[in-house]
Structure 1
């Protein structure tokens, strides 16, 4: 597998993992903010889809043709990071799929050294290649998938990329509670040691 195919495979996998974080959730749980800055699952999907459309679209002179009003100059700040009541989950998931399909076409049709221009980046960094943008979007998607992992665990305790994820220790809910208590005790003990220095 060549470099482009490897990066594309990683991007596709992270996209699917991000969408899977919505599976089985109520409208409320998919949308509710779980951090002081309002981070929420459906907003992460909307954001990743929106920026992917720009990076694999405008950057290479191949606009995706998607309606992204939250990026208009007069849009509310951070409107791409949450879903308004009138925006359905289905619309946002379809946006994600459409952006991904457009990106996939760009990736498949262009060479890794294809030049592009990221007009919203500083002048000294805005001239890029498809390779750079593929790496950028793999990192961007994985970054937000990490957020989604934590949010989903806070919502219903689901952890890992899928049920039975081999990257997680095989513990019962009670075993996780004991493990968490041990970590909490270590943090308290370290704080006490630090205060006594």
Structure 2
């Protein structure tokens, strides 16, 4: 996974760099939750929730890919895979290492895409989904990036609880 000291996109000046740095911090906290676990542990449910550590990594990788497509394309089209419910589960044959590679690639794609957006205030039409209002909703590129930060932080909290229930490890003690 990338960090601000290794990725030129995160050293961008101004708002672009600040937002990418905030996203990178949330990713780093999330990655603490999967440090030192096996594939079986990554796929294991530890709470009443269906969420697993591997499923969270998979979901966030897909989320970064599809929201980056929404931001860059700006055509209001629904990216492939955006609404797939299987994005929350490790499929048979998937490995944590493979999911982490996908997440790192998605993160790098997000960072490159954000670096290429000249104006974070640019209005982007959101894709229609079954629960969307009938009118087209627009978000700024900035709001899409803020959504990715919020989504990553949200699921990092879930992952922390799942990891603690898994083996007692606390990411707060690992920082």
TM-score normalised over the length of structure 1: 0.70
Distance 1:5 1:88 in 2: 32
1:142 corresponding residue in structure 2:
153
Offset of residue 127 of structure 1: 1.2
Task: Name stretches of at least 5 consecutive residues in structure 1 with no aligned partner.
Answer: 63-67, 166-197
CA shift digits 1:150-170 (9 cap, x unpaired): 11111122223452x4xxxxx
Q: Structure 1 79/25 Cα, relative in aligned 2: closer, same or farther at 3 Å?
A: same
Say whether 1:2 aligns with 2:14.
yes
Say whether 1:155 aligns with 2:166.
yes
Whose RCO is larger (CA < 8 A, sep 6+)?
2
Count of equivalent residues: 156
2:110 corresponding residue in structure 1:
103
Task: Name stretches of at least 5 consecutive residues in structure 2 with no aligned partner.
Answer: 1-12, 75-79
1:18 corresponding residue in structure 2:
30
Partners of 1:55 and 1:118 within 8 A in 2:
no
The runs of at least 4 consecutive aligned structure 1 residues that moved more than 3 Å come to: none
2:87 corresponding residue in structure 1:
80
Deviates more, 1:20-29 or 1:139-148: 20-29
2:4 corresponding residue in structure 1:
none
Deviates more, 1:5-14 or 1:136-145: 5-14
1:49 corresponding residue in structure 2:
61
Q: Structure 1 57/84 Cα, relative in aligned 2: closer, same or farther at 3 Å?
A: same
CA shift digits 1:66-87 (9 cap, x unpaired): xx7xx288x6xx2000111211
Offset of residue 16 of structure 1: 2.0
TM-score normalised over the length of structure 2: 0.78
